[in-house]
Structure 1
Amino acid sequence: MIHPSKLHAGHSIGGRYEIIRKIGEGGMSHVYLAEDLKLPGKLWAVKESVSDPARYSSIREEAQLLISLSHARLPRIVDFFPPDEDGYTYLVMDYIQGITLEKYFRGYRGRIPVDSILQLADQLLEVLDYLHTHDPVVIFRDLKPSNIMLTEQLELRLIDFGIARNYKQAQAQDTVKLGTVGFAAPEQYGSGQSDARSDLYGFGALMLYLTTGGAFSEWTEDAAQSIRQDLPRHLVPVIRKLLEPMPENRYASAAEVRAVIAAAVRQEMKPGPKRGRDMAGRKSTQVIAVMGASGGTGTTHTAIAISHFLARSRSKVALVEMNMRSPAFRRIQQIVDGESSAGPGSRKFEVEGVDYWRQTARSDVIALLSGSYDFLVIDLGAFRERDRLEEFLRADFPIIVASGAEWRQQDVLDMVHGLSRYPRQKWMYVLPLAGEDAVSRLRKQLDSTQVFALPLQMDPFDQCEETDKVLSRIFHGATAGIQRRRRFRFGLS
């Protein structure tokens, strides 16, 4: 840092943001933790930057850029103070509680679990796809471990947009050559203008860095031989292509890379001949995502009923709770295993042949997908824009639980309208306790035949013939092998 900071603990910015302590620094900026005096207890990150008058415009551009972006993996900017007489500016943005990928990597001594690497890679490609399809296109240009934050749930956030820029169609090359050595694409050093493919190079450099224990970020023969052996081998040529010196030889988009990696992982994880088959005769884990159109529709009840229906067909089933606010799984575990069983270290328990996974993060879901389960049922809770939406969209069976009451059917219509940009050919809709008139009405409104009524089932753990008939239709009628099991009841013994 060339210039000293003006901030200190107790200093107030704009009469609203009181500085608590410094939480980071680098280049030409300091980052502080601050409390909002108008919203006591609310914490923000304040980025203090300083530059000569000739670069004031770049600070304003960063603020305008951040203001225009809205994505769960990007910090929100909530306030901006333009340069003062000494050139100091202040950006007030979301405080992301967690650690940088750099510190996380060092904590594992360069051996992050492969499942975690794949999870982080997918999240990073998700946000890059958002930036690259933004209007105008946004190029991050500085993908490196210290610019990636991880929350306690291993959720990724991109930080420090100090050198991000909008792609300019008519510009031959970048006027400013910026980016961290070893992670920046060759064109960022003067051979051309950086574009979306430059970020893909940075992504490839980061992948190589993570998979070689931090030894390499540029492709060489030594780097190829140093890639860890537990990485799916089909990913090696993907990394190699990402690191091609010429942009035209790389992948064209983050979405393409994401699809290629997903296919490579599926190819690598094809089950062996001893792997059990699911009800449709396939040998891969099928994902069923259950999401409520609104609160109080019976999402968890439906997810439990589906899981035990599948388990009775001799399938191996995991039921995953991704609704972090719900106490349902904790209460079930306390009934099954005892009042003191639902501590932080005992998130897995079993009921009637179904493995329940309580309070589960995305990284855990990837690990379960690579296991021996035939079906993975995910309880996503009530719909919230962007919140857990990715798991729903990816599922083999995306199921929306909605109310059968006429006055509440607008909830599912609003949800579908809000997600109209996504394909919904696979989506299914279940209406607990709904009559045939409600089903017919919603089928017409949604222009879909995949709307089903679920009958009253007081105990979702037990078999209900009427419910089984509906679920057999949803899961293509494959109900062979269903057997009656011992009934599980809530209650005190």
Structure 2
Amino acid sequence: MKQQPCRLLHGEVLGERYVIDRIIGEGGMSCVYLTEDLKLPGKKWAVKESMSEPGMQRAVQDEAQLLIKLSHPRLPRIVDFFHVQDTGYTYLVMDYIQGMTLEKYFRGYRGNVNPEFIMELTEQLLDVLEYLHGHEPQVIFRDLKPSNIMLTDQLEVRLIDFGIARSYKQESGEDTVKLGTVGFAAPEQYGGRQSDARSDLYGLGALLLYLSTSGKFSEWITGVERHIRGDLPRELVPVIRKLLQYAPEHRYQSTMEVRSALSRQQSIPVNSSGVQSGTVAGTLVAAVLGASSGVGTTHSCIAFGHFLASRYGKVAIVEMSAKSTAFSRIQEIAEGGKLGSIRKFEINGIHFWRQTARTEVISLLGGSYDAVVLDLGSYRDSERLEEFLRADLPIVIGSGAEWRQHDVVTLARMLSRHPQPGRIYALPLAGEETIQEMRKALGTSKVHALPLQSDPFEIPNSSQQTFAQVFQDYLPSTERKRRFRFRKY
């Protein structure tokens, strides 16, 4: 975007009222001046000058009128708006806030700001975003970056740049203008759909990740967790991860959900690897991928689901293959030989979803379940691999037989381009010697033997102990006392 030079000089009078003092900010297509008010001697205002595109004057004016109606302690008052007809420039007059931008404050600490400051900043931003998103019509800020956040002398937040804020239009399919700062703006702001409240939540996540990595990252990419500061409050990291999901439907859907997640995480310990113990924000997703066919992937998924149901409230086991027939056979037994069009069925309180498409899984991960086990079948296609890479707990099932160990090593080599610190390898019926060999071959200690389990719907004590090791970083402290039997009709 071409830099637009500031037009006005010291001493010029704008709108027969505002005397230009000096430039206090500029960038992109706008410039901000500090001005003095001729009608109110001694009163200072910040005036933002912007160039409007031809034909957009009316839309810009409508948005300005909306912003003038806003009233919140973390927003500057916008008291006037006008445009100069012969130049195409518009002017937004707002409170002048003394202090410094978050960007300048952050640089002053060389990226090492106090963890308590980050949490307080989070609370204040949630406060103002809740107000904007609850406004009628809803207001989307769309540019939550350090230079657009002012800190007063008391470190109170003020959002200062409403240059690209807009009201949400229910009937609109996508934004007509793609705006936002690269690295902080949500993916949908670059085309394909309209930005909404979840776009601001992505921006919040990008900002928090930026602060949490000392300015190194604002997107959740592979390996980023290694750069997150170890002194951060434990509840923040999984929340940031979910805020930065690519698809809006995978993020938190409101500021209230973010607050709830932060509150829910507060007393959960963190293990030495930086993984949160006890739970994750939202739904725990365990994705199970077979190194090859016939290694017991589905059998293990069912057993994992029943184990998690003893610790979590509402659990689902999801078959993510249109070709698989395993869940169909189970449903026929559970429902007395009948297989209808409804692909969801229940066995002892656990929901089974057979032949589930990826698009359907999205709705299952929106918080309706406490834990979900995804049966991805054997490694074949990239769509299933994406779900594996996005999971909280990715588990590879492989054979412990010597002649099939190569399948596990080969898959691990293929997955090496996608680092996942929490990845687990589980080998049914493998001996201790095999486990030690595979740990050496795979370069990880997270290789477990799964004991003989003839009925995955009934978990023996030996399996309970092993599964507790597999899921140790994600188990709530309180166990739910439940006994499972395969119910037949």
Q: Shorter-normalised TM-score: what interval? A: 0.5 to 0.7
Which residue does the alignment assign to 2:42? 41
Do structure 1's residue 204 and structure 2's residue 202 form an aligned pair?
no
Deviation (angstroms), 1:80: 1.5
Which residue does the alignment assign to 1:192? 193
Which residue does the alignment assign to 1:24? 25
After the TM superposition, which of the residue ranges 65-74 and 49-58 deviates more from structure 2?
Answer: 49-58
The percent identity for this pair of structures is 66
Which secondary structure does the structure 2 equivalent of 1:157 belong to?
strand
Letter matched to residue 177 of structure 1:
K
**So what's the TM-score if we normalise by structure 1?**
0.53
Is the 2:234–2:268 contact (alpha carbons within 8 Å) kept by the matching residues of 1? no
Do structure 1's residue 152 and structure 2's residue 131 form an aligned pair?
no
Deviation (angstroms), 1:230: 0.4
Is the 2:63–2:167 contact (alpha carbons within 8 Å) kept by the matching residues of 1? no
Which residue does the alignment assign to 2:91? 90
Q: Tell me the alpha carbon deviations over residues 413-436 of structure 1, each in whole angstroms, 9 at most, x when there is no partner.
A: xxxxxxxxxxxxxxxxxxxxxxxx
The whole-number CA distance in structure 2 between the counterparts of 1:129 and 1:179 is: 20
Which residue does the alignment assign to 1:256? 257
Deviation (angstroms), 1:54: 2.2
Which secondary structure does the structure 1 equivalent of 2:218 belong to?
coil
Paired residues for 1:215-364 under 5 Å: 215-265=216-266, 267=268
The whole-number CA distance in structure 1 between the counterparts of 2:224 and 2:232 is: 14
Letter matched to residue 130 of structure 1:
Y
Is the 1:56–1:83 contact (alpha carbons within 8 Å) kept by the matching residues of 2? no
Which secondary structure does the structure 2 equivalent of 1:209 belong to?
helix
Is the 2:141–2:164 contact (alpha carbons within 8 Å) kept by the matching residues of 1? yes
The whole-number CA distance in structure 1 between the counterparts of 2:261 and 2:224 is: 21
Q: Tell me the alpha carbon deviations over residues 261-306 of structure 1, each in whole angstroms, 9 at most, x when there is no partner.
A: 234345569xxxxxxxxxxxxxxxxxxxxxxxxxxxxxxxxxxxxx
CA gap of 1:162–1:74, structure 2 versus 1, over 3 A, is: same
Deviation (angstroms), 1:84: 2.3
Which residue does the alignment assign to 1:173? 174
Is the 1:62–1:161 contact (alpha carbons within 8 Å) kept by the matching residues of 2? no
Do structure 1's residue 121 and structure 2's residue 122 form an aligned pair?
yes
Which secondary structure does the structure 2 equivalent of 1:20 belong to?
strand
Letter matched to residue 20 of structure 2:
I
Letter matched to residue 79 of structure 1:
D
The whole-number CA distance in structure 2 between the counterparts of 1:22 and 1:85 is: 23
Letter matched to residue 264 of structure 1:
Q
Paired residues for 1:370-385 under 5 Å: none
CA gap of 1:3–1:26, structure 2 versus 1, over 3 A, is: closer
CA gap of 1:2–1:229, structure 2 versus 1, over 3 A, is: closer
The whole-number CA distance in structure 1 between the counterparts of 2:178 and 2:208 is: 23
Deviation (angstroms), 1:78: 1.2
Q: Which runs of 5+ in 2 are unaligned?
A: 271-489
Which residue does the alignment assign to 1:451? none
Q: Tell me the alpha carbon deviations over residues 360-390 of structure 1, each in whole angstroms, 9 at most, x when there is no partner.
A: xxxxxxxxxxxxxxxxxxxxxxxxxxxxxxx
Deviation (angstroms), 1:29: 1.1
Deviation (angstroms), 1:3: 4.3
Deviation (angstroms), 1:2: 4.5
Deviation (angstroms), 1:59: 2.7
Paired residues for 1:468-479 under 5 Å: none
Q: Tell me the alpha carbon deviations over residues 458-489 of structure 1, each in whole angstroms, 9 at most, x when there is no partner.
A: xxxxxxxxxxxxxxxxxxxxxxxxxxxxxxxx
Which secondary structure does the structure 2 equivalent of 1:122 belong to?
helix
Do structure 1's residue 183 and structure 2's residue 184 form an aligned pair?
yes
The whole-number CA distance in structure 1 between the counterparts of 2:216 and 2:198 is: 23
CA gap of 1:3–1:181, structure 2 versus 1, over 3 A, is: closer
Deviation (angstroms), 1:75: 1.2
The whole-number CA distance in structure 1 between the counterparts of 2:100 and 2:9 is: 22
Which residue does the alignment assign to 1:418? none
The whole-number CA distance in structure 2 between the counterparts of 1:203 and 1:21 is: 31
Is the 1:232–1:268 contact (alpha carbons within 8 Å) kept by the matching residues of 2? no
Structure showing greater radius of gyration is 2
Do structure 1's residue 76 and structure 2's residue 77 form an aligned pair?
yes
Is the 2:4–2:28 contact (alpha carbons within 8 Å) kept by the matching residues of 1? no
The whole-number CA distance in structure 1 between the counterparts of 2:5 and 2:233 is: 47
Deviation (angstroms), 1:73: 0.7
Paired residues for 1:6-21 under 5 Å: 6-21=7-22
Which residue does the alignment assign to 1:427? none
Is the 1:141–1:199 contact (alpha carbons within 8 Å) kept by the matching residues of 2? yes
Is the 2:206–2:244 contact (alpha carbons within 8 Å) kept by the matching residues of 1? yes
The whole-number CA distance in structure 1 between the counterparts of 2:37 and 2:25 is: 19
The whole-number CA distance in structure 1 between the counterparts of 2:11 and 2:103 is: 30
CA gap of 1:52–1:219, structure 2 versus 1, over 3 A, is: closer
CA gap of 1:217–1:2, structure 2 versus 1, over 3 A, is: closer
CA gap of 1:236–1:86, structure 2 versus 1, over 3 A, is: same
CA gap of 1:39–1:73, structure 2 versus 1, over 3 A, is: same
The whole-number CA distance in structure 1 between the counterparts of 2:81 and 2:193 is: 32
Paired residues for 1:408-419 under 5 Å: none
Which residue does the alignment assign to 2:292? none
Paired residues for 1:414-433 under 5 Å: none
Deviant stretches of 4+, over 2 Å = 1-6, 51-55, 262-269
CA gap of 1:268–1:97, structure 2 versus 1, over 3 A, is: farther
Q: Tell me the alpha carbon deviations over residues 285-329 of structure 1, each in whole angstroms, 9 at most, x when there is no partner.
A: xxxxxxxxxxxxxxxxxxxxxxxxxxxxxxxxxxxxxxxxxxxxx
Is the 2:4–2:27 contact (alpha carbons within 8 Å) kept by the matching residues of 1? no
Letter matched to residue 54 of structure 2:
P
The whole-number CA distance in structure 2 between the counterparts of 1:266 and 1:77 is: 41
Is the 2:188–2:199 contact (alpha carbons within 8 Å) kept by the matching residues of 1? yes
The whole-number CA distance in structure 2 between the counterparts of 1:25 and 1:65 is: 23
Which secondary structure does the structure 2 equivalent of 1:19 belong to?
strand
The whole-number CA distance in structure 2 between the counterparts of 1:40 and 1:128 is: 34
Deviation (angstroms), 1:198: 0.9
Which residue does the alignment assign to 2:142? 141
Do structure 1's residue 66 and structure 2's residue 56 form an aligned pair?
no
Letter matched to residue 169 of structure 2:
K
Is the 1:234–1:268 contact (alpha carbons within 8 Å) kept by the matching residues of 2? no
Which secondary structure does the structure 1 equivalent of 2:39 belong to?
coil
Deviation (angstroms), 1:214: 0.6
Which residue does the alignment assign to 1:452? none
The whole-number CA distance in structure 1 between the counterparts of 2:217 and 2:269 is: 24
Letter matched to residue 76 of structure 1:
R
Which secondary structure does the structure 2 equivalent of 1:53 belong to?
coil
Letter matched to residue 197 of structure 1:
R
Deviation (angstroms), 1:112: 0.6
Letter matched to residue 211 of structure 1:
S
Which residue does the alignment assign to 2:314? none
Task: Tell me the matched-pair count.
Answer: 269
Deviation (angstroms), 1:130: 0.4
CA gap of 1:213–1:42, structure 2 versus 1, over 3 A, is: same
The whole-number CA distance in structure 2 between the counterparts of 1:241 and 1:2 is: 34
The whole-number CA distance in structure 2 between the counterparts of 1:97 and 1:268 is: 40
Deviation (angstroms), 1:204: 0.6
Which residue does the alignment assign to 1:403? none
The whole-number CA distance in structure 2 between the counterparts of 1:2 and 1:59 is: 20
Deviation (angstroms), 1:26: 1.0
The whole-number CA distance in structure 2 between the counterparts of 1:124 and 1:266 is: 22
